[in-house]
Chain A
Amino acid sequence: MNFEELQKAWQSHDAGAKVLIDADVLLKEVRRNQRNFRATIFWRDAREVGVAALMTWLFLHWAIRDRVWSLYLVAFACLGVGTFMVVDRLMQRRKQPASNDSLKACIETSLHQVNHQIWLLKNVLWWYLLPFAAALAIFIAAAIWRSRHVAATIGGLCVYALVVAVLYWGIYRLNQWAVRTGLDPRRQELERLLASLE
Chain B
Amino acid sequence: MLSVLGQVSGGPAVAHGKLLFRPIGPELILVGVALAVMLLDAGYPERHHATLALLSLAGLAAAAAYSLSLWSWTGPTTVLGGMVAADRFTVFFRLVILGVAALAVLLSYQYLERADEVRGEYYPLLLFATAGMTLITAAADLIVVFLALEVLSLSLYLLTGFSFRRLASAEASMKYFLLGAFSSAFFLYGIALAYGATGTTNLAGIAHGLTGQVGPLSLALAASGLLAVGFGFKVAAVPFHMWAPDAYQGAPTCVTAFMSAGTKVAAFAAFLRVFDVAFSPLIWDWKPFVWILAALTMVVGSVLAIAQSDVKRMLAYSSVAHAGFILVGVTAASHAGIQAAMFYLAVYPAMILGAFGVVMVVSGRGERGLTLSSYAGLARRSPLVAAVLALLLLSLAGIPPTAGFIAKVAVFTAAIQSGHWPLALVGVLASVVAAFFYLRVIVLMYMQEPVIAGGQREAETGFDAEPGAVGSLGFVAIAVPALLTLIFGVFPGILFGVLKSASIIRF
The answer to whether A binds B is: no
